[in-house]
Structure 1
Amino acid sequence: MLSATASAQQAPSPPPIIPYGVPLGLEAAKKIMAAAEAEAEKNNWAMAIVILDSTGHMVMLHKLDNTQYGSLMAAEDKALSAINYRRPSKVFEDLVAQGGIGLRSLALRGASPLEGGIPINVDGKIVGAIGVSGGTSVQDGQVAKAGADVAK
């Protein structure tokens, strides 16, 4: 009886670890950027869009007209969060929104608790990340997803 209780209290197994791959190149980044920009422009959203390679180094940065300057740093932070923690930054936003123990994620160095950072996966490996800022969290996530989906 004791073993049944112990197994019922075990935490679920973590998701599989996605390995890092060869850093994203400029040509791939251009395609990702074009898709993200098109989504932002289609909706008339002023956004900053950052694309990093798998080492966290910047490959591209575009600031659409009338984007606030702070969005440049926020977009890079979101992309770095997605690279370093191998998950979309929305995961941290959701944890913070839950409150309670989810607030512990705020102590993770470099974890952005704002939607808009998405790892770029190619052939099951993280080759980079896209970070977007300038709109609402949902808008930032929508633009980031449009870019990240091109790489699949």
Structure 2
Amino acid sequence: MSNTTPSQKSIAMASINRDAAVALIDASIAAAKAIGIDAAVAVIDATGNLRAFERTDGAPFLTVDVAIDKAWTASSFGFPTHVWNDYVTKDPKVAPLAYRPRMVAVGGGYPIIENGKLIGGVGISGGTYQQDQDACVAALEKLGFEVPA
């Protein structure tokens, strides 16, 4: 063990602010409506905590937890949720992650990236995985966030 003490004991962390989180909710609801689905939308901050949430009147109640967990999954490692499906089904060393509480490995969750930094996650639930995924991409692009593949 080293006898030296680091001079700094914390790190600076970028995280989505309230105004951007609410704007992303509004853009996501508009994108879902344009696609023709009722949906729940969640925005998680960089620490994995819920920052903003909305559920349209016609969205089933199960969409609430699924949207939140999609956002959480996407923000955990900075990968869109649809890529987790390949990870947990094709790699036996990663497959046990599929059994983690809150892990969602279907489309509809994206990390929120600004200037190359992960600042949160967004999750949409209400349609097919592709509809949820498309609504996420449309909302992120509308607000100028980076959209990973």
Give the distance between the partners of 1:141 and 1:21, measured in 2 at CA. Answer: 27
TM-score, normalised by the number of residues in structure 2:
0.79
Shift of 1:114: 1.3
Shift of 1:109: 5.3
Structure 1: which 5+ runs fail to align? 1-19
SS of match in other structure, 2:140: helix
Equivalent pair of 1:95/1:105 in contact (CA under 8 Å): no
Equivalent pair of 2:15/2:45 in contact (CA under 8 Å): yes
Give the distance between the partners of 1:67 and 1:100, measured in 2 at CA. Answer: 34
Partner of 1:121: 113
Structure 2: which 5+ runs fail to align? 1-11
Give the distance between the partners of 1:86 and 1:37, measured in 2 at CA. Answer: 22
Q: Root-mean-square deviation (CA), in Å?
A: 2.0
Over the matched positions of the two proteins, sequence identity in percent amounts to 26
TM-score, normalised by the number of residues in structure 1:
0.77
Partner of 2:81: 89
Give the distance between the partners of 1:47 and 1:116, measured in 2 at CA. Answer: 11
**2:139 partner amino acid:** G
Give the alignment partner of residue 71 of structure 2, picking from 73, 79, 90: 79
* Matched length: 132
1:43–1:136 distance in 2 versus 1, CA, 3 Å: same
SS of match in other structure, 1:127: strand
Higher helix share: 1
Partner of 1:26: 18
